Amino acid sequence: MIKKITYFLFIAISFSCVKEKEKTKITLEDVTNLGFSLQNKSDRDDIPAMNELYDVKAFADIFLLKSADKEVHEFNAGFFMGFSRNFNFGEMLVAQKSEGGSYEFIRAYEDEKNNFHLLFRLYGEGLNYHDYLVKEINGELKIVDMYIYMSGEYLSDTYRTYYKSILDKSNVLTKDLTEITVYQDALKLIEVKELNAAGKFKEAHKVYKSISNSSKVTKAFQLVNIMLTFNLSEDLYYKAIKDYEKRFPNDPSLYLVSLDGLIYKKEFDKAIKSIDKLDELLGGDPFLNYIKGNIYYFEKDYENALGKYAIINLEYPDFIDAYDSALGIYLETNNTEKVIEILELYVNKFEIDKEELKFNLSEFAPAFIKTKEFKNWFSK
């Protein structure tokens, strides 16, 4: 089954002037240590500790309008009060991981403008990458923004669009926000996500259709539509992907967004090229060999698929999904010796009970558990 590509987006807005102490020289080692710190806190699901690594005020200062106008200043203050309460990166990250996701620090790097970054991979129901912008704030290294590969833009850009759309409304400073269409659409989008997460896909789709057309053409709304239609029908899902491609051609997010659509249409060569482009954009990620292996598997190019899974076994020896994928190929090709080899690895390395393995095999490979080879292995 093709895994859907999901995306990770959360509301995090606040406002303040950031006063920085005299800057010291940031080193790549310092930034790398920050990356490992986030990794450690994420592994422990330590929400407060993860939130301490972010400077939300510096984040908001990137996109909120700088103006001496009293009304704008008051609007920004109200905007901050309303949305800063919703900022909880740690909580949102833990929620993503609870759905089976893993969060892994890949590398720290310095870009051509001498800005430092942290690159993380989110993998679970789908694949995404987060590229954090790191700055020194009051003598401490803090994360101040986040480029989300699935959305193809910085989080600050996403919220700059949302913020300006409210600010630009006539008489916005004297109106109740609930009267503004874009605000109503944002609330509906939250409802859509909640209904979708609860498995109420038709209800979610009905709410989505009630959103204004002006909002539905934006990236955030289009991406939610892709996520939603995946659970409704393949035709709607593929159409949602094609609509996104037409609206955002040459966007980096296409390498992830279009992947399922390419596989669905059996355009495997294009799917591989898409992964190659993503790999180049990332500066290299060996984990993408697993995605390539799956594409080769769908193409029934088992030799290349097994070659990619073997690379993953070396790079990520504890990543059980690659062994599962290889097992499926060996079962399909009746390579009993290799099947037994992987079953033995499950028992010894991953400490999976033989009874559990037998039960699982009875679900998707019932003929195999009746073979002499399996019976002999099972009885040992």
Q: Decide: 325 and 306 in contact? Cβ < 8 Å.
A: no
Element (H, E) at 145: strand 140-148
Res 280: pLDDT: 93
Res 302: pLDDT: 98
Res 2: pLDDT: 41
Burial of 1 (0-12, 13-18, 19+ CB in 10 A): exposed
E strands, 75-138, are: 102-110, 116-123, 127-137
Q: CA distances (Å), 359 to each of 100, 325, 341, 344, 348, in order? A: 22, 18, 18, 15, 18
Burial of 20 (0-12, 13-18, 19+ CB in 10 A): exposed
Query: Average pLDDT per run of 10 along the chain, which is 380 residues long?
Result: 37 35 75 97 94 90 82 78 75 75 92 95 88 94 92 84 68 50 79 85 92 87 87 87 86 84 88 94 95 96 98 96 96 96 96 95 93 94
Q: Decide: 101 and 122 in contact? Cβ < 8 Å.
A: yes
- Report pLDDT digits (tens) over 1-34: 344 433 333 333 233 334 444 456 889 999 999 9
